[in-house]
């Protein structure tokens, strides 16, 4: 199945609203329906398998990024999810492998991606490590415990 990244549009709304995650996963993220509207500087990105929306994440170039890094050209990735029925098929891995290329073409000023992963979220930690994210050593307290701040350099497009 061909995996691609695209900006959100209305055509994805129904599929994204039907995303389901079991409770033990839902605590680590926010489902896409929480982002029917977003603020300036937030971008909804849809993970497509063929034409089907199977995953979602949010990119930020807002002031919130400043609490993760001092780099003014960094963006923050949050709220990654793959709909439960489509998990375990390599979709998140492929999507994160496509991330740097997508960002360098869509957000040419961005030279670093940062994100926070919960210390108990082993699946996500492995995923991010597999695609080259590094532990910055920074830690923040989240609502369900310590969050590790990871980063990935983005080569200029
Ligand atoms: C984390 C998540 C995005 C992975 O999506 P996925 O499409 O099922 O992942 P993939 O099939 O591409 O697997 C990629 C890698 O992730 C890791 N991984 C995925 N699911 C895993 C699991 N249940 N246990 C351990 N590692 C897992 C593995 O390293 C895997 O590579 P491998 O199979 O070669 O070992 C998905 O489980 C999810 O949506 N979780 C809930 C939300 C969440 O935690 N988001 C991250 C917030 S920081």
Q: Which residue has the tokens 């350099």?
A: 153
pLDDT at 142: 87
Long-range CB pairs of 123-129 (<8 Å, 24+ gap) are 124/28, 124/80, 127/92, 127/93, 127/96, 128/96, 128/152
Q: Nearest CA to 36 among 63, 64, 8, 60? A: 8
| CA distance readout (Å), 143 to 2, 80, 147, 149 | 36, 17, 9, 15
Using the mean position of ligand 1's atoms as its centre, give its distance from the Cα of residue 88 in Å. 7
Query: What are 4-54's pLDDT values in tens digits?
Result: 999 999 999 999 999 999 999 999 999 999 999 999 999 999 999 999 999
Q: Which CATH number fits domain 3-153: 3.40.630.30, 1.20.1560.10, 2.60.40.10, 3.40.640.10?
A: 3.40.630.30
Q: Nearest CA to 43 among 17, 85, 72, 79? A: 79
Across 103-123, b (16+ Cβ under 10 Å) vs e yields bbeebeebbbbbbbbbeebee
Assess whether the C-beta atom of 57 lies below 6 angstroms from ligand 1. no
**Cα separation of 105 and 109, whole Å?**
9
Assess whether the C-beta atom of 87 lies below 6 angstroms from ligand 1. yes
Residue nearest to atom 41 of ligand 1 (CA): 25
The distance in angstroms from the start CA to the end CA of the chain is 26
Instruction: Give bridge partners of residue 87 from the DSSP assignment.
Output: none
Query: What are 65-119's pLDDT values in tens digits?
Result: 999 999 999 999 999 999 999 999 999 999 999 999 999 999 999 999 999 999 9
């Amino acid at each position: 199945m061909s995996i691609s990244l695209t900006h959100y549009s209305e055509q994805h709304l129904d599929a994204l609203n039907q995303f389901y995650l079991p409770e033990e996963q839902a605590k680590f993220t926010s489902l896409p329906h929480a982002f029917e509207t977003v603020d300036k500087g937030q971008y909804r990105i849809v993970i497509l398998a063929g034409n089907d929306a199977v995953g979602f994440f949010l990119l930020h170039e807002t002031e919130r990024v400043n609490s993760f890094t001092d780099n003014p050209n960094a963006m923050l990735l949050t709220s990654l999810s793959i709909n439960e029925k489509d998990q375990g098929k390599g979709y998140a891995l492929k999507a994160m492998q496509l991330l740097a290329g997508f960002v360098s073409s869509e957000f040419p000023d961005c030279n670093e991606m940062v994100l926070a992963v919960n210390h108990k979220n082993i699946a996500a930690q492995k995923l991010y490590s597999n695609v080259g994210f590094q532990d910055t050593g920074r830690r923040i307290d989240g609502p369900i415990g310590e969050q590790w701040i990871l980063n990935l350099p983005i080569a200029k497009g």
